[in-house]
Structure 1
Amino acid sequence: MTTTTRDASSGWLYGPIPDLLLGCGVLFLLVAGAFSVAGGALFRAVPPYVPELVIALVSAPHYGATLVRVYEQRADRRGYFFFSVVATSALLLLFGVALVAPIVASVLATVYLTWAGWHYTGQNYGIAAMFLRRRGVPFDDTARRLLHASFVLSFLFVLFVAHAQLEAIADPGREARFIPLAIPQSVNGAVLPVLLVAYAATTLGWIGLLARRAERLADLGPTLLLAGVQLVWWSVPYLGRFYGFGEGNVAIDWNARTLFFPWVAGAHAIQYLWITTYYARSSGPWHGQGRYYASILIAGLAVWTIPPLLFAPGVGEFDWNFALLLAATVNIHHFVLDGAIWKLRQPKIARVLIASEPAGAVAASTERTLLRRAVWAIAILGPLLTVQYFVDQYVIEPRSWQAGDAEAVERSLARQSWLGRTTAYDYFRLGRLLETSGQPDAAVIQLERSAAMEPRVESIKRVIAHALQSGDRARFIHACDQLFELDQVERPLPTIDLGLATRAEFLAFQEACVRVAQATRPVSPRASATGGAGQDGRVAAPEGYR
């Protein structure tokens, strides 16, 4: 067991290259720059499993690092009891309620999607301030307030634009959705220019003040980079959304936000792992990088895979909402714990991150209880289930599609559904494959499942056609009611009770349904549940309903 620290006089944690690449976001800027310079061609050429691997191997461990920090040692569990037990229990209770009450899920989603930008901002600000103090730049209250105000203002751009009513949303009482405050365009049109002026003033203020105080301008380099990263991650894409600029530049193009966000999340996670690993090896028992990474990888993957294993298969028509609900719950928990444990004003944190002094000897945990062993044994399911998902998603399922083996596709989707990783489009494609292979009865089951997960004209029309051909009146009425409930459809007449309706009433209902089905055209996939932010825990895949 060893404890490794670095002299704070160097101004770096690990050294200039790793600190700039990982902690200051230069690696992200290089990747984003390559995507943008290539005009999107390079970005589109990246296989979908690459960002998924980034999420699994980098983003998930950063959640695990917080869990290990708070729950691994008895002293930490007790020290953070309110957050580790009380707040966690309350959040788990809300999660349980949200499984059956979409409005609660929508509230959690809104809190998460609003808080996320602030969480990233706080981390960037904290690291920016840390570098200034480590490098001996005089950082008094005036400088601190200016720097802090600059980062806060960069977040306010996000807050105001995210909560503007820029696109239609579905009913948050029926589906898990982001619920914007619906700030009028006129208000944002007046407020955003004021915020831009204030941001420019505070940013130039702290740069000018610290440039005069620093021994070398290079000492401001890490802080300037972090301010730039903050703009690229959050402020510029949201301002581009409001003012209509950035199209074609992958890093800031709002239309690419959903697909690009995993790279932003990955960069944030790398930054977090960079600093939390330094703290872990400097503040207590250290058993090596490999063992530490294994522990946080297991813990991080567990919180993303075990809850779906328990709940996703049983939530029925709500299962397509489950990804956003899970992302909201896991992230809010992470934000709560993170806000409690990372404060530079805490003496222990300051000694390690600013002065590079060991935090003091901490006895290795001697806990070897049955409960502890059981928790880690269950957590091992996380990486095992993740490997199974990758094998199914990127090996078994594609080969089954290529071979036209509907049964193999169905088995693969069934396994993925236990982790809540299937989509309405998956079942639509399976239904179409079964249709072309001459299995209409099996096909309609998959099409109904697709329509239940995400009601769309394409799947509902095919169910209606199957029901008409087979004479299944109950299925026909149900599908027609689904069609009539679509946002772009005006219900032509009330539903009917098959057992009570006369022949004339049924024929009138049938005629109206067929007429509406023929007239209704597909629309683009439903408005983003995240308001376009792309933070629902999934890597979006292209959908081509046909």
Structure 2
Amino acid sequence: MSVVSAAAPLAGVRRPALDPGRAFVNPTFDYLVIGGGLSIVVLGALQSGAFPSLAQLLAKNLWFIVFVANSAHFAASTVRLYTKPGALRDFRFLALGLPFLAFAALAAAITAPSLLGRHLVSLYLTWSPYHYAAQAYGIAVLYCHRSSARWDATGRRLLRLSCLLPFLYTFFSLPGAGFSWLMPEAVRTQPAMAAAVTALAGILRVASFAAPVALFFRQQTGGRAALPLISLLAVVSNAIWLVPFGYQIPLVMITVTVFHGLQYLAIVMIVHVKERTRAGNVAAWRPAAAFYGACLVLAYLLFHLWPKAYVLAGFSYAQSYLLIVSVINVHHFIVDAYIWRLRRDPSYAAVAGSASP
């Protein structure tokens, strides 16, 4: 989820020096799920190996966990697109044209996997960390604007940069994506170039954590709007997701995608429920259940039935699944880039200024 800006609510409210941020649901839920706090605890436990029973539990139930969180979150952007008021008017290409382009891209990639398919996968792997960074920025900005009207353009740019640094780290360090995908091997393997990229990745690794902390202290001075602690947590959580593990431990990285999905589902359902409850006298659980139910149905169609259709057509399941996941991701990234533009949608601004869903 990427966010450009939100409305400036509560201009006259005096905030504490250390601003915890105004929760959407309640502080515990917001900090653990939307801020990513629970992910840090779980990932630390998995990485340390101190709790083998946790790893066994996750591995045993991995299909179900991924389905209800990560797969559902991909479907959520599409469900949001088609349930968003005025979507067919405002996003005609996204709603009517982009699905056909996605089908065409998948057909081309699966027909010529060596020529086109590998580039589709590399595009997905390159774009995904940027999408994570954009979601972290969007969440951080939402909480900033819920707390203060005084965030200026410079502060937002520095916040965006802090969120983008982990993406830049993965761009230069992730095999098969980013720099290693776009730059010819003859150039990448030059000793001077390899040394420069290694040094740059090292700088970005440190900066991914130092920059948000520095921004936090910057905002504490000069009469600036304080960076809410939950915004700082969201940015640091994203850095933890993308930087330390290097995509080397499958269970850890799958767990990262699960928490990213939970974070997205929480925000999109809060927005959806707010819209529906403002439109009429309806209990909040009804639109929430309907929205999430639609996400589960669509996720099952996309991630479980669609690959089987290609198997029936004579393609291998592994290849079909990988390319379908890649095209679903790219579609998700494009849709998100448009449907979360808060500056152009006053309904999002209203949600940003509300204290609870």
Q: TM-score range by the shorter chain?
A: 0.7 to 0.9
Matches within 5 A, 1:8-407: 11-39=22-50, 41-46=52-57, 48-72=59-83, 75-102=86-113, 103-136=115-148, 138-163=150-175, 179=181, 181=183, 182=185, 183-184=188-189, 185-195=194-204, 199=208, 202-212=211-221, 220-238=228-246, 254-256=247-249, 258-284=250-276, 287-316=286-315, 318-356=316-354
Q: CA contact under 8 A between 1:153 and 1:199: conserved in structure 2? A: yes
Alpha carbons of structure 1 residues 52 and 352: separation in structure 2 relative to 1, 3 Å: farther
Deviation (angstroms), 1:137: 6.4
In structure 2, what is the Cα distance between the partners aligned to 1:83 and 1:66?
11
Alignment partner of 2:236: what SS? Answer: helix
Deviation (angstroms), 1:49: 3.6
Deviation (angstroms), 1:350: 3.9
Displaced runs of 4+ in structure 1, greater than 3 A?
7-10, 36-40, 178-184, 193-205, 213-217, 284-288
In structure 2, what is the Cα distance between the partners aligned to 1:51 and 1:352?
37
Q: CA contact under 8 A between 1:35 and 1:42: conserved in structure 2? A: no
Alpha carbons of structure 1 residues 195 and 264: separation in structure 2 relative to 1, 3 Å: closer
In structure 1, what is the Cα distance between the partners aligned to 2:71 and 2:61?
14
Q: CA contact under 8 A between 2:271 and 2:348: conserved in structure 1? A: no
Structure in which a larger fraction of residues adopt helix: 2
User: Residue in 2 aligned with 1:385?
Assistant: none
Q: CA contact under 8 A between 2:71 and 2:299: conserved in structure 1? A: yes
**Which structure would you say has the larger RCO, counting Cα contacts within 8 Å and 6 or more residues apart?**
2
Alignment partner of 1:130: what SS? Answer: helix
Alpha carbons of structure 1 residues 323 and 230: separation in structure 2 relative to 1, 3 Å: same
Alpha carbons of structure 1 residues 85 and 159: separation in structure 2 relative to 1, 3 Å: same
Residue type of the alignment partner of 1:224: L
Q: CA contact under 8 A between 2:144 and 2:231: conserved in structure 1? A: yes
Residue type of the alignment partner of 2:199: A
In structure 2, what is the Cα distance between the partners aligned to 1:120 and 1:307?
25
Deviation (angstroms), 1:40: 6.2
| Count of equivalent residues | 322
Deviation (angstroms), 1:259: 2.3
Deviation (angstroms), 1:322: 1.5
In structure 2, what is the Cα distance between the partners aligned to 1:312 and 1:89?
21
Matches within 5 A, 1:474-493: none
User: Residue in 1 aligned with 2:6?
Assistant: none
Percent of aligned pairs with the same amino acid: 22
Residue type of the alignment partner of 1:232: I
Name which of structure 1's ranges 59-68 and 46-55 shifts more when overlaid on structure 2: 46-55
TM-score normalized by structure 1? 0.54
Deviation (angstroms), 1:300: 2.0
Deviation (angstroms), 1:45: 2.3
Residue type of the alignment partner of 1:139: W
User: Residue in 2 aligned with 1:442?
Assistant: none
Deviation (angstroms), 1:326: 0.9
Q: CA contact under 8 A between 1:283 and 1:352: conserved in structure 2? A: no
Deviation (angstroms), 1:146: 1.0
Q: CA contact under 8 A between 1:313 and 1:319: conserved in structure 2? A: no
Deviation (angstroms), 1:309: 2.9
Q: CA contact under 8 A between 1:110 and 1:180: conserved in structure 2? A: no
Deviation (angstroms), 1:345: 1.9
Residue type of the alignment partner of 2:275: S
Instruction: Tell me the alpha carbon deviations over residues 61-115 of structure 1, each in whole angstroms, 9 at most, x when there is no partner.
Output: 2122211111246831232111222222112111111221112111111111110
Gap regions ≥5 residues in structure 1 = 1-6, 166-177, 239-253, 359-546
In structure 2, what is the Cα distance between the partners aligned to 1:31 and 1:300?
25
In structure 2, what is the Cα distance between the partners aligned to 1:330 and 1:277?
20
User: Residue in 1 aligned with 2:4?
Assistant: none
Alpha carbons of structure 1 residues 289 and 139: separation in structure 2 relative to 1, 3 Å: same
Deviation (angstroms), 1:289: 2.7
Larger Rg: 1
Instruction: Tell me the alpha carbon deviations over residues 284-319 of structure 1, each in whole angstroms, 9 at most, x when there is no partner.
Output: 356343222212211222221232232123234x43
Q: CA contact under 8 A between 2:22 and 2:143: conserved in structure 1? A: yes
Alignment partner of 1:212: what SS? Answer: coil
Deviation (angstroms), 1:342: 0.7
Residue type of the alignment partner of 1:28: S
Residue type of the alignment partner of 1:191: L
Instruction: Tell me the alpha carbon deviations over residues 415-445 of structure 1, each in whole angstroms, 9 at most, x when there is no partner.
Output: xxxxxxxxxxxxxxxxxxxxxxxxxxxxxxx
Deviation (angstroms), 1:155: 1.1
In structure 2, what is the Cα distance between the partners aligned to 1:190 and 1:37?
27
Alpha carbons of structure 1 residues 221 and 294: separation in structure 2 relative to 1, 3 Å: same
